[in-house]
Each structure stands twice: as C-alpha cells, then as structure tokens.
Chains A and B, each alone.
Chain A
C-alpha cells in the first residue's frame, strides 16, 4: 500500500493531459465561433470517430472478426439489447476460434 512521489507525479501528469483532451475540444469550440463548414463536420463527426476507431481493429482481426462483427450488428439491429449483442459477438468469435482450432 505505497504511494511513491515519482509515481504520483506521473499519474497527475497523465490525469492533467487526459482532462485537457476531454475538455479542450469543447473549450476551443466555445472560444472561437466555428464557420458553417466546421459545424456541419461536427454533425458527422461522432459516427466517423467510431468507424475510424474500429476499422484498423477489424482489419487486424481478419475474417473471423468480420463474421463476429456482422453478428453483433445483426443482433443489435433486430433486438436492440446492447448486453446481448456484445455477448453474441464474443460467443461468435469464440465459436469460430474453436472450430478453426
């Protein structure tokens, strides 16, 4: 149960940097009135962030990941239960790894 000063400083630095990222984008948006083009971009930004986040992940997972991803989307589209869709995805990937054994 120790708390070393160098570790504490590193943690505080990490926390400060993370908060600047979290609050910074909104703070800048408030400080400068963005042109209409940027406002239209913000309209599309959320979905694009997640696609851009997931694309490299799925590229590395290979075809088993694509099948599992399709199962997640299908489950969420039909049943709208997040916990269930996640379980379907993990289960599908697990099953395919077992089958590919």
Chain B
C-alpha cells in the first residue's frame, strides 16, 4: 500500500488536546465500575506469591484483566513463561478485530500516535471510542485519553488489591463484579445506530451462546459471535444493494 504524503495539519486534527481531555472525562465515568476487577487481579497476584513490583509491572505492561486472571490461575513456581504468554495471546485475540475496526481513526495519525495508542487498547476504551466515532468525531487522542485514565485507575486498584486484598473479603458472586459487565452494556446504547444493528447483534449473541454452550472457553465465543454477526450484517447489506 502506497503511503500518502503526510500532512502535518491533518495529523494534528486527528489527534487533538481537546480529544484527549474528552476521552479522559469519559473514562472517569466508568472507572468506578472497573475498579472491582483491578482489586481482584491484585488479590490473585498476591495469592500466587507475586511481589507488589511484579504485580504492578504485569498490570502496567499487560493491562488486560481477563488475560491476567487466567495467567495467574495457571501460575506455577518457577513462573510459566510459555503458558502465561499463550494465555495472553489467546484471550486477547478479541482485541485484534477491535484495532481493525478503529482504522478510520488510526489511519489519520502515524508513528507513536498510532502504534503507541494501540498499546493501551482495551474493551471499554474501544467501546467509548466507537461511540465517539459514531457521534462524528474522529480523534485518536480520545482513545489515548480514555485508556490512560483507565490505566492509572487499573494500577491503583491492582496495588490496592495486592496490599489490602486479604482484608477485603469480596466473594466471587458479589454484585460489585457486575459493574464491568454493566459498563459494557451501557456503552451499547450510544453504539446502537438503529434497526439495521438488530440482525447482526442477534446473530452475534446466538453464535456466542452456541460456542459457549459447546464448552469452548475464551476467546472463541467472542470471536465466533463477533464474526458471525458482522458477516450476517455485511451479507444482508450486499443482497439489499
């Protein structure tokens, strides 16, 4: 693919200070909901014998709660280098299509603005950014603003869980753990563009449930559902065209 000549002005419009601040503010609204997850990861790391430095290094560099939890469940002594790496690869595979879906935003920037922002991509940051993109604003700095606030909150909560986890005693079924699912669900409201979404969303849900019901774990229900639903939408649109 031939690169167009970089236009510094266009690059600046695609990555603004205002966008960064909008993103940071948007993230503040959901950090409360994501905090319990950070606590749990900090607690799990403590139980596996990781030091506070190791816990924060992992959370800071990996920044993916589910993958970290699964890796910590597989944890052994000495550390399972291959198993932990593979767990992250498999569970975070769902983020590959997210990055692709953000192409309209990422294509407008280059260098660290593109590849550095991608390093902070997570589910909720992606959801907020898609909602922003669909409101007509294409600003990659919004994603970075969201993600950095979430990252700071994540580090704080993981440290808190590691240090005070033993005293917190949150049982696994506690309603506070519903917060992260509630955050994703709420962000679906601004992502909804109208009845055209209905068929792809239903297909996505059914396919994910089928794969989940067949006994396959993460990431397969997400990937199967996402691609089945998106393919259904694309197929319908092509027939209609």
Q: Say whether A9 faces chain B, with CB atoms less than 8 Å apart.
A: yes
If A9-B81, A52-B225, A56-B208 touch, whether A47 touches B186 (CB-CB below 8 Å) is no
Contacts of B164 in A (CB 8 A): none
Q: How many A-B residue pairs have CB under 8 A?
A: 298
Contact B1 A30 (CB under 8 A): yes
Q: How far is the CA of A4 from the CA of B55 in the complex (A)?
A: 12
Contacts of B224 in A (CB 8 A): 52
Contacts of B179 in A (CB 8 A): 86, 89-90
Q: Say whether A99 faces chain B, with CB atoms less than 8 Å apart.
A: no
Contacts of A3 in B (CB 8 A): 51, 53-54, 57
Using an 8 Å CB-CB cutoff, how does the interface string of B204-241 with A read, 1 for contact, 0 for none?
A: 11111100100000000111111111111111011000
If A12-B61, A65-B178 touch, whether A22 touches B99 (CB-CB below 8 Å) is yes
Contact A7 B99 (CB under 8 A): no
Contacts of B235 in A (CB 8 A): 37
Contact B85 A10 (CB under 8 A): yes
Chain A at the B interface: SS class = helix
Place the interface of chain B in its size category. 35 or more
Using an 8 Å CB-CB cutoff, how does the interface string of A3-32 with B read, 1 for contact, 0 for none?
A: 110111111111111111111111111110
Chain B at the A interface: SS class = helix
Contacts of A85 in B (CB 8 A): 182, 186
Considering only CB atoms and an 8 Å cut-off, how many residues of chain A contact the other chain?
77
Partner of B230, one of A48, A61, A82: A48
Contacts of A80 in B (CB 8 A): 189-190
If A2-B54, A47-B197 touch, whether A82 touches B81 (CB-CB below 8 Å) is no
Contact A49 B226 (CB under 8 A): yes
With most chain A CB atoms within 10 A of its CB, the pick from B29, B51, B88, B190 is: B88
Contact A46 B130 (CB under 8 A): yes
Contact A44 B191 (CB under 8 A): no
Nearest to B51 among chain A residues (CB) is A2
* Residues of chain A at the chain B interface (Cβ within 8 Å): 1-4, 6-31, 33, 36-38, 40-59, 61, 65, 68-69, 72-73, 75-77, 80-83, 85-91, 93-94, 97
Which 6 residue pairs of A and B lie closest in terms of their CB atoms, listed nearest first? Answer: A52-B225, A25-B96, A13-B85, A48-B229, A89-B182, A44-B233
